[in-house]
A = this chain, B = another copy of it.
């Protein structure tokens, strides 16, 4: 057996270096705590832009507070359908001297013994200081067309069912603070503010690429021998979109130094942030860290994190062609690791870049629905929140049962097992196993990151 080694690799650079490769990772596995601290301290919000108020969309983040240009309500208006009266007149019959409905204007004045019919949101005529709802009145006299006299059945209190000018919002009041994340409610408030332009944080654009000679595009009709479909790109593009970030599809990149360099350069033309999967482990084709360090002169903030899944997760920054800081999240190629690592590292950084005040996922406490064997590494296990309603059995449930149950998506938690992400809206934060604690029991309470709609 002295024949030369047949090799299916063709790139001389990797073949020549394989005998020199370290047999243990050069990268210390830092703690999750340190890794997350590095990520959010390094990421700095970019810049702001002005958008016309009518193009404001959910998920945008305010760069400046929104201030009221108008008082709300802009006039004294009725809270009810009824009659504007003088409160001190008390109960009894009132002549109906005018009518105002929402949007109409009246110049008539309510005087003692008279009233004005008003509808919800209508201006209150001068003189009146209370509204009596129609349910508390009776029609006494009419001319076959209009009401002439009505009877007040309940004594009104001063200011009853009247909204004063500016009682909800005064001119100049801060309606929404800087860094507020806009949802439908806040968009309604912006509409009410009278502001025509809103200053928001510019969100980062993210380029997503998959590395690996084994990959074919997932839209291919057939899978050739030795190839697998690239599932990371569609998955990560969708994940970033769900979080409101614009994405660029960086395609599949082969496992050569030249292809990696070229693809990263192209990505930097369009985005400051790259999320790439694959090429960060111990294999001889795992060139990403070396390319970032040696070819781009980037700082590798970490090359491994002591967590599961996603141990070889890598975070690097540097400048390229201009002074803007570029961010690279290189996550493992296994689909589960890629998905979890993108959630844990890239999403908080992107939120920070986009001006979010809280970068991290919300944590809630959940009860385990089953026993879990702990790993040496702290584990982020995919799970879903039970929506079973306990309200029927309130007499028997303990306080503990008010804490929602969480079910693991799958017993197979291998990082290659893509089905373990299915349906997950939680990542359980499981501690490392210790001598004294190898398992968590069913019913134990753990923290969980909310990663999807509950």
Residue ranges of A at the interface with B (Cβ–Cβ < 8 Å): 1, 4-9, 15-16, 18-19, 23-25, 52-54, 57-58, 70, 72-75, 79-81, 95-106, 108, 114, 117, 119-123, 133-135, 137-139, 142, 144-148, 163, 168-169, 175-176, 180, 183-192, 194, 196, 212-215, 218-219, 221, 223, 225-236, 238-239, 241-242, 255, 281-286, 333-335, 339, 358, 362-365, 382, 385, 387, 389-391, 398-400, 402-404, 412, 414, 416-419, 421-424, 445, 447, 450, 452-454
Q: Using A102-B213, A187-B235, A364-B404 as known contacts, list a sample of 14 further A-B pairs with CB atoms less than 8 Å apart, ordered by residue number in A.
A: A19-B139, A57-B238, A80-B282, A101-B213, A101-B255, A101-B283, A101-B285, A119-B286, A122-B214, A187-B234, A189-B421, A191-B218, A191-B231, A192-B229
User: Given A101-B9, A417-B168, does the pair A281, B215 have CB atoms closer than 8 Å?
Assistant: no
- CB within 8 Å for A5 and B99 given contacts A189-B419, A385-B362: yes
> Is the Cβ of B188 less than 8 Å from the Cβ of A232?
yes
Name the distance in Å between A125's Cβ and chain B's nearest Cβ. 10
Known: A16-B145, A119-B285. A5 touches B97 (CB 8 A): yes
Knowing A8-B99, A15-B146 are in contact, say whether A54-B218 is a contact too (CB < 8 A).
Answer: yes
Smallest Cβ-Cβ distance to A119: which chain B residue: B283
The 4 A-B pairs with the shortest beta carbon distances in the complex, nearest first, are A188-B235, A103-B214, A119-B283, A103-B213
Q: Are A281 and B81 in contact (CB under 8 A)?
A: yes
Q: Is the CB of A418 within 8 A of B219?
A: no
In the complex, the answer to whether A121 meets B194 with C-beta atoms within 8 Å is: no
Residues of chain B within 8 A of A121, CB atoms compared: 212, 214, 228, 333
CB proximity of A390 to chain B, nearest CB, Å: 8
CB of A75, distance to nearest CB on chain B (Å): 7
Shortest Cβ gap from A238 to chain B (Å): 4
Q: How far is the CA of A453 from the CA of B215 in the complex (A)?
A: 35
CB distance from A70 to the nearest CB of B (A): 5
Q: Say whether B454 contacts A223, CB under 8 Å.
A: no
Q: Which one of A57, A108, A194 has the greatest number of beta carbons of chain B within 10 Å?
A: A194
Which residue of chain B has the shortest Cβ distance to A332 in the bound complex?
Answer: B120
B168:A95 contact, CB within 8 angstroms: no
> Chain B contacts of A186 at CB under 8 A?
422-423
**Chain B positions within 8 Å of A453 at CB level:** 362, 453
Residue of A101, A192, A447 with most chain B CB atoms under a 10 A cut-off? A101
Residues of B within 8 A of A100 (CB): 8
A399–B389 contact, CB under 8 A? Answer: no
Inter-chain contact B146/A184, CB cutoff 8 Å: no
Min CB–CB distance A387 → chain B (angstroms)? 5
What are 30 A-to-B residue pairs whose CB atoms are below 8 Å? A8-B106, A9-B99, A9-B101, A18-B117, A18-B147, A19-B144, A53-B218, A57-B238, A58-B238, A58-B241, A75-B225, A102-B214, A105-B225, A117-B284, A119-B283, A120-B283, A120-B334, A121-B333, A122-B283, A183-B452, A187-B235, A188-B339, A191-B229, A358-B387, A363-B389, A364-B364, A364-B404, A402-B403, A403-B403, A454-B454
